[in-house]
Homo-oligomer: A and B are copies of this chain.
C-alpha cells in the first residue's frame, strides 16, 4: 500500500508533539504531520527501539478548515447593507429550499447519536446535509426505550463532538436526559434535521452520480437527490425477532425488546424474557421491581461484568475523572484507544478481565450456583472485544445479576420450542406460563436496512456490517482488521455506514465527515483497496 500511495499522499512535516514518555520498556509519542491535502495527528509506540504501533489520523483538509477559534465567523455583519439577511431569515430560507430547490450533498438516514454527530461535523465543514429521522423529536430513539434505561457507558466516554457535557453531568445518563441533550444539540448545531420523516426507498442513479431517495415527511412524499447516502440507522437498529411456532396463538403481549414499553402494565403478571444480554437483564429487573413474576430464558452463555468494576479496571485509564485530571482529554483518549490495532487489542484486554474475574469472584460464584452460564469471550478478552466483534453477548451489571443469583428473577436455560396460548414451552417440555413474552433476541446486521431501503442485491453486494473477522462466535473470518463497512467506502458507490455507541459516533464521525467533505470539494480520493465481502449477514 505504501508503495502504491506514498508518492501521491506526500506525508511530510512530522513533528513530535510534547515530550515522549517511557514506561515498561515502551516509548509513547504524539506527533503531527501533513499530507498533500491534509493535516493530521498521530501516535507512536516504540518497543526495543523499533516501531511497535503507529496511528495516523486526519484532523483537517487544507483550505477547508473548520471555522472555529480565531477562524470563527463574525455572526453580525457590520456596516450597512440593504440586502442584509438575518441569521433567522437565512435559517428559514435554508429550511425552505434544502431538499426542494437545492439538493443536499449528503443524506443521513437515521437521527440518533450517530446521525447527529456526523451531521454536526458536516455542518461545521459546510457540507449541505439533511438528516432523516422517523421520530417526532430528536432524542426519541432514546426516550422510547424501556423507562429504566440509563447509559451503561460513563459520561467521559459519551461526549458528542464540539459540545461536551457540562462538569456536573451524571456518570450514567438516564435515557430521557440524553434524549433532551440530543434534541438541544441538534438545535444549537443548526442541523437540518427532518423529524417524522421515513426513508421509503433509495436507488443510485449511476449516470447522474447521485442517489434518488424517496422520503415521506409528515405524510408528504419528497424526493431527495444527494450525492452521498449514509446509513446511520443503528448498529443495534434492526430487531432480530425469532420465528417460534405458536407466536400466532399466544394471547398475551409479545414484542421485541426494542418495542418494550417498560414494566408499568405488568404488575402481578407473568413475564418471560427470552435472551440474557443487556436489554434482557434491564427489562427483567424493571419488571421484577414493578411486581411482575419474571423468568429469563438463557439460550447461550453470557459475559457479565459489574459496572463499577468495568469503570475501575476497564475504562479509568482513558475515560474517567482521573484521566481528565491527568491530561487525557476525550480526544486523546479516543486516539490512544484507536492506536492499538484490533489485531493485538485482545492482548491488552485479557489481563484486565482476569483482574475483574478475581475481584468479583464471589459474585460470579453466586451466579453460577444459580445456574447462570457465564463466559468471558472465546479468548477471555471480555466486553470491548465482544462489542467490536459481534456487538452482543454481554451484560454490564447494574443490579439484575443479584436478582438472578437470588432467584428473584427466575432462570431457565435451554431452547424455546413453541408458544401456547398462555405459555412458553422449552424443548425439554418445561412450560413457562406467560402473560408477556419479550424477545430480547438482539439485532441484525445493518445491511438489513439496505435490503429494505435499496434492494437485496445491494445489501448482498455490500455484505455484513460490523465485526472484525475474528473467527469467533457471530464474527466469522477471514480477518478484516477493521470494522466491516463502517466509516469507509463500501462495495456500493457513495453508500456509507455510520453509528455505534457515543464514543464511536463521536470519534469516527470525524473521519467519515472528512471523507465526505473531500469528495464534495473534488479532492482526489482514490480508494486503495475495498474490502472483499465474505458474508451477507
A residues with a Cβ closer than 8 A to B are: 66-70, 72-76, 78-82, 84, 86-89, 91, 124, 147-148, 150-151, 155, 162-163, 166-174, 176-177, 180-181, 183-184, 187-188, 285, 288-291, 307-308, 321-322, 398-400, 402-403, 408
Contact = CB atoms under 8 A, between A and B. Distances in A.
| Copy total for this chain | 2
Given A75-B155, A183-B187, 5 more contacts: A70-B322, A73-B170, A75-B171, A87-B150, A184-B188
A150 B66 CA distance: 22
Contact of A188 (B67, B87, B181, B290): B181
A289 B84 contact: yes
Contacts of A163: 163, 166
Contacts of A408: 80
A398 B78 contact: yes
A123 to B, nearest CB: 9
20 contacts: A66-B168, A67-B168, A68-B167, A70-B322, A72-B168, A72-B171, A72-B321, A75-B169, A75-B171, A75-B177, A78-B308, A80-B289, A80-B400, A82-B291, A84-B148, A86-B147, A86-B148, A86-B176, A88-B176, A162-B168
A367 B516 CA distance: 50
Nearest to A87: B174
A455 to B, nearest CB: 39
Contacts of A73: 168, 170-171
Contacts of A398: 76, 78-79
Contacts of A91: 176
A290 B86 CA distance: 13
A310 to B, nearest CB: 12
Nearest to A89: B147
The 7 tightest CB contacts between A and B, nearest first, are A75-B170, A87-B174, A76-B150, A184-B184, A76-B172, A68-B168, A88-B176
A135 to B, nearest CB: 16
Contacts of A169: 72, 75
Contacts of A290: 82
Nearest to A155: B72
A74 B170 contact: yes
B74 A171 contact: yes
Contacts of A124: 168
Contacts of A172: 74-76
B180 A187 contact: yes
A148 B169 CA distance: 35
Nearest to A74: B171
Nearest to A324: B69
A403 B80 CA distance: 7
Nearest to A67: B168
Contacts of A187: 180, 183-184
A181 B167 CA distance: 18
Nearest to A321: B70
Contacts of A176: 86-88, 91
A330 to B, nearest CB: 14
Contacts of A289: 80-82, 84
B87 A177 contact: yes
A258 to B, nearest CB: 18
B170 A72 contact: yes
A162 to B, nearest CB: 4
A494 to B, nearest CB: 27
A47 B167 CA distance: 38
Contacts of A162: 166-168
